[in-house]
Amino acid sequence: MSDDAIVYVVDDDASVREATSSLIRSIGLEVAAFASADAFLAQPLTDRPSCLVLDVRLPGLSGLELQRELGVRERALPIVFITGHGDIPMSVRAMKAGAVEFLPKPFPDDELIAAIRASLQRDRDQRVHRVEMAELRRRYETLTAREREVVLPIARGMLNKQVAADLGISEITVKVHRRHVMQKLGARSLPELVRMVDKLGLGTQG
């Protein structure tokens, strides 16, 4: 399977690191391997679909500490943890922090491959979501101050005359603003506008 993705492997055991890298290459994926969390953090991440196969116990920063550090740096990657020393509390902690899988060594090759594929798909989905959100925010920024006042009550289902009364403007003016809001945001229906408002987090405001 040919792919534009890259898989990062961080494991201090050279034999495990090489075996894991070879397995990943065998399914057509590029690999970048590191012996420590610090070595991984020193390298810039490529702007491609990617995931991290990460040992829990490492010299210096542990795998769980690296997971936390990536979150702090807003460089979140889907992570597949591998460990020869795992326990249930540790795995629960990793999964709660967003890990895709927690595999105890030794693990079947097909389990790691499945976890990597799931991780890469998650990263692709997240990338699409980020692009869509950036575009939606860009469109929202084109709204005038008055159009921003109108968008939330409209999305909440208020009638034009109710919005007009609340804002102290005419119903005709509300209709004009409403049309402009729909056009600028690219909303083809009221339910679609509601979804956009929810995505923007406007529904939680006053």
Domain boundaries, the chain: 6-131, 142-204
* Interatomic CA distance for residues 56 and 84, integer angstroms: 8
Question: pLDDT at position 203, please?
Answer: 65
- Alpha-carbon Rg for the chain in angstroms: 24
Tens digit of each residue's pLDDT (9 = 90 or more) over 16-36: 999 999 999 999 999 999 999
Environment class of residue 80 by beta-carbon count within 10 Å: exposed (0-12), middle (13-18) or buried (19+)?
buried
- 142-204, CATH topology level: Arc Repressor Mutant, subunit A (1.10.10)
Q: Whole-model pTM? A: 0.76
Tens digit of each residue's pLDDT (9 = 90 or more) over 86-144: 665 666 667 776 788 888 888 899 999 999 999 999 999 999 999 999 999 999 999 99
Residues in Cβ contact with 132 at an 8 Å cutoff, skipping those fewer than 6 apart:
none
Question: pLDDT at position 83, please?
Answer: 85
Q: Which two tokens stand for residue 60?
A: 């210096």
Question: pLDDT at position 95, please?
Answer: 72
> For the residues 148-157, what does the mean pLDDT come to?
93
Task: List Cα–Cα distances, 43 to 28, 127, 140, in angstroms.
Answer: 22, 20, 35
| pLDDT over threshold 70, residue 205 | no
- Which CATH architecture does the domain made up of 6-131 adopt? 3-Layer(aba) Sandwich (3.40)
Q: How many CB atoms lie within 10 A of CB 10?
A: 25
Distance spanning both ends of the chain, measured CA to CA:
50
Token look-up 């869509």 returns 132
